[in-house]
């Protein structure tokens, strides 16, 4: 009898132990989970002024944690503005408003528009112009700003909510004034308040800078590649609102300039078929001595721009978005409305590092750099602001713990990007243009290659350099707006510049 009891007791022991173990493990995991969720919540207020210590070469000062209130001799970003008086050469009004819009296929988009247009109105200005843009927000609930992507405007006109201004609330307005100092070329504008949602829904448009006396007598066509969220079909790729095929009549012999603008969050590959063409500019800067290309795929960074030019032949020319086999997004240029499309001239990806001819640059690989930074881009699964998601840390950190690049005005700054993650990261620096010095350790041998948005693909590395000649506090972030919203942002700060603005849940500012 006792023997039987003992056996029975043992028989029960194992499952009970297992159950206890399971309970303890579950408690541990859920405890760790809720602790992680809590710990990843962003502070309610994050001030934008970085600290002003530790400014040695290679220094990466903490972002905002060691925030020091503006010192006596600090310049505020609100003082770094364009001319406040003087009659502007160009004056625009952009009204943010909700509208139900249709793509060419008939698919509907619940859009946020500027002036009821999708994409927003094309702003054409000339180099040297004083431009005034009045932003009026008539959205029902969201804030708006205007950021001039690629234009090196004074910091206070840069339009980043929580960094250079407060988000403009419904019913409010804000006026931007700046002199166009950039090269003639292709730029764009977009809201920089909750840009993931705002740009996605349509608060963007092309911004074209023309030379003082523009003599181009051909067809000049901005093409904005974007994915729209449609009611009927979910995500739909389009050139502007052309999610199908659009014909354009062009007479043979006409010079054609296509301004390819990627307003999407992933690289867009364009294929031009039916004629040789040249890539004449990247991110608003002309390339030196571009040569004819055929059968090359143009991979444009999210936020980036390529301008291509050709002379219209006697036969049809097509421009295709070739990301997906199923995509039917196409511009077909021909003399009459019956011509059929040429065979797709797809080929290897065009590499700007070896295209065109060398030319003197203000600095290069052998220059002495005042500051050098290395930014390592990684991936990990983690918690961010209470949610578990894919994170894209920079040097192991996500915003607001990412490093702040602190510089003095006049510094020559070198930045090395290394992408160890599995996704592309189009790195965009506000307010400056970066000269690409080397690609995967090899010096750039083609035309000087200036960018404001550089696609760093998985496994790639780049060295770039820029002159710190535009004081302020500038965003430097991935233009895959999902990544930016998950903290893939840092800032370039100038010593002695402070910002009175803040981001965070307790503020009206959420730039990404
Ligand atoms: Cu196109 Cu931070 O922006
Ligand atoms: Cu990214």
* CA-wise closest residue to 465 among 485, 483, 475, 451: 451
Q: Indicate which atom in ligand 1 lies nearest the CA of residue 511.
A: 2
* CA-wise closest residue to 155 among 498, 404, 452: 498
What pLDDT score does 253 carry? Answer: 97
Taking the C-alpha atoms of 237, 240, 246 and 247 in order, what is their torsion angle to the nearest 10 degrees?
-150
Burial 276-290 (b: 16+ CB within 10 A, else e): ebbbbbbbbbbbeeb
- Please tell me the residue having the least CA distance from ligand 1 atom 3: 149
β-strand partners of 187: 207
- According to DSSP, the β-strands at 404-407 and 453-456 are unpaired
What pLDDT score does 62 carry? Answer: 44
Ligand 1 pocket list (CB less than 6 A): 147, 149, 190, 192, 303, 428, 430, 475, 477, 479
Distance, in Å, from the CA atom of 357 to the CA atom of 2, rounded to the nearest integer, reads 96
Distance, in Å, from the CA atom of 490 to the CA atom of 61, rounded to the nearest integer, reads 11
Q: Measure CA 212 to chain center.
A: 28
Distance, in Å, from the CA atom of 331 to the CA atom of 321, rounded to the nearest integer, reads 9
Low-confidence ranges of the chain (pLDDT < 50): 1, 50-70
Cβ atoms within 10 Å, residue 348: 8
Output the CA–CA distances (angstroms, integers) from residue 66 to 45, 62, 63, 491, in the order listed. Answer: 14, 7, 7, 15
Q: Count how many Cα atoms sit within 13 Å of the Cα of residue 205 in the half-sphere of its side chain.
A: 22
- Cβ contact 263:190 at 8 Å: yes
Count of residues for the chain?
Answer: 512
Distance, in Å, from the CA atom of 327 to the CA atom of 320, rounded to the nearest integer, reads 9
What pLDDT score does 327 carry? Answer: 61
What pLDDT score does 73 carry? Answer: 65
Distance, in Å, from the CA atom of 203 to the CA atom of 445, rounded to the nearest integer, reads 38
Ligand nearest to the CA of 480: 2
Tokens in use for 100?
């139900």
Distance, in Å, from the CA atom of 467 to the CA atom of 453, rounded to the nearest integer, reads 16
What pLDDT score does 52 carry? Answer: 35
Q: Indicate which atom in ligand 1 lies nearest the CA of residue 188.
A: 1
CA of 454 to the centre of ligand 1 (A): 12
Tokens in use for 9?
């007791």
Q: Indicate which atom in ligand 1 lies nearest the CA of residue 160.
A: 2
Q: Is 7 helix (H, G, I), strand (E, B) or coil?
A: helix
Distance, in Å, from the CA atom of 489 to the CA atom of 194, rounded to the nearest integer, reads 13
Ligand nearest to the CA of 482: 2
- Please tell me the residue having the least CA distance from ligand 1 atom 1: 149
pTM of the model: 0.91
What pLDDT score does 71 carry? Answer: 53
- Please tell me the residue having the least CA distance from ligand 1 atom 2: 475
CA of 478 to the centre of ligand 2 (A): 5
What pLDDT score does 352 carry? Answer: 97
Cβ atoms within 10 Å, residue 271: 18
Output the CA–CA distances (angstroms, integers) from residue 386 to 37, 63, 379, in the order listed. Answer: 4, 20, 18
Cis ω for the linkage preceding 400 (within 30 of 0): yes
What pLDDT score does 326 carry? Answer: 57
Predicted confidence (pLDDT) per residue in 309-362, tens digit: 999 999 999 999 987 655 689 999 999 988 899 999 999 999 999 999 999 999
- According to DSSP, the β-strands at 497-498 and 130-137 are unpaired
- Cβ contact 415:70 at 8 Å: no
Distance, in Å, from the CA atom of 257 to the CA atom of 280, rounded to the nearest integer, reads 9
What pLDDT score does 65 carry? Answer: 36
Distance, in Å, from the CA atom of 430 to the CA atom of 196, rounded to the nearest integer, reads 17
Distance, in Å, from the CA atom of 309 to the CA atom of 258, rounded to the nearest integer, reads 6
CA of 185 to the centre of ligand 2 (A): 25
Distance, in Å, from the CA atom of 509 to the CA atom of 165, rounded to the nearest integer, reads 9
What pLDDT score does 57 carry? Answer: 31
- Cβ contact 183:285 at 8 Å: yes
What pLDDT score does 2 carry? Answer: 54
């Amino acid at each position: 009898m006792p023997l039987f009891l003992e056996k029975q007791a043992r028989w029960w022991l194992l499952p009970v132990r297992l159950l206890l173990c399971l309970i303890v493990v579950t408690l541990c995991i859920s405890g760790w989970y809720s602790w992680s969720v809590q710990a990843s919540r962003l502070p309610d207020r994050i001030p934008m002024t970085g600290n002003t210590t530790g400014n040695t070469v290679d220094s990466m000062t903490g972002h905002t944690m060691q925030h020091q209130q503006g010192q006596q001799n600090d310049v505020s970003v609100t003082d770094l503005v364009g001319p406040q008086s003087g009659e502007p050469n160009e004056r625009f009004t952009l009204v943010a408003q909700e509208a139900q819009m249709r793509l060419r296929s008939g698919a509907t988009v619940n859009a946020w528009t500027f002036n009821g247009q999708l994409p927003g109105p094309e702003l054409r200005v000339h180099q040297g112009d004083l431009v005034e843009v009045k932003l009026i927000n008539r959205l029902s609930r969201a804030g708006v700003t205007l950021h001039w992507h690629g234009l090196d405007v004074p910091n206070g006109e840069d339009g980043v909510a929580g960094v250079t201004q407060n988000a403009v609330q419904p019913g409010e307005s804000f006026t931007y004034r700046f002199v166009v100092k950039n090269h003639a070329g292709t730029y764009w504008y977009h809201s920089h308040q909750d840009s993931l949602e705002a740009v996605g829904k349509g608060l963007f448009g092309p911004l074209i800078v023309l030379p003082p006396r523009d003599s181009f007598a051909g067809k000049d066509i901005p093409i904005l590649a974007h994915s729209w969220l449609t009611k009927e079909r979910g995500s739909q790729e389009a050139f502007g609102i052309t999610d199908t095929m659009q014909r354009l009549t062009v007479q043979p012999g006409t010079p054609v300039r296509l301004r390819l603008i990627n307003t999407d969050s992933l690289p867009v590959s364009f294929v031009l078929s039916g004629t040789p063409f040249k890539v004449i500019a990247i991110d608003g800067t002309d390339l030196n001595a571009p040569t004819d290309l055929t059968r090359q795929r143009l991979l444009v960074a999210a936020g980036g721009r390529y301008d291509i030019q050709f002379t219209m032949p006697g036969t049809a020319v097509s421009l295709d978005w070739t990301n997906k086999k199923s995509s039917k997004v196409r511009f077909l240029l021909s003399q009459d409305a019956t011509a059929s499309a040429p065979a797709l001239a797809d080929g290897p990806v065009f590499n700007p590092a070896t295209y065109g001819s060398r030319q003197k640059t203000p600095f290069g690989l052998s220059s002495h750099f005042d500051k050098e930074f290395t930014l390592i881009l990684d991936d990990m699964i983690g918690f961010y602001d209470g949610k578990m998601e894919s994170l894209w840390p920079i040097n192991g950190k996500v915003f607001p713990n990412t490093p702040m690049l602190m510089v003095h005005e006049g510094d020559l700054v070198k930045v090395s990007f290394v992408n160890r993650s599995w996704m592309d990261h189009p790195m965009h620096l506000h307010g400056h243009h970066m000269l690409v010095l080397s690609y995967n350790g090899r010096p750039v041998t083609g035309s000087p290659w200036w960018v404001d948005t550089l696609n760093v693909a998985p496994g790639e590395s780049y060295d770039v350099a820029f002159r710190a000649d535009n004081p302020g506090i500038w965003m430097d972030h991935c233009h895959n707006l999902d990544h930016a919203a998950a903290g893939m942002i840092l800032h370039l700060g100038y010593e002695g510049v402070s910002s009175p603005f803040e981001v965070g849940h307790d503020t009206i500012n959420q730039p990404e």
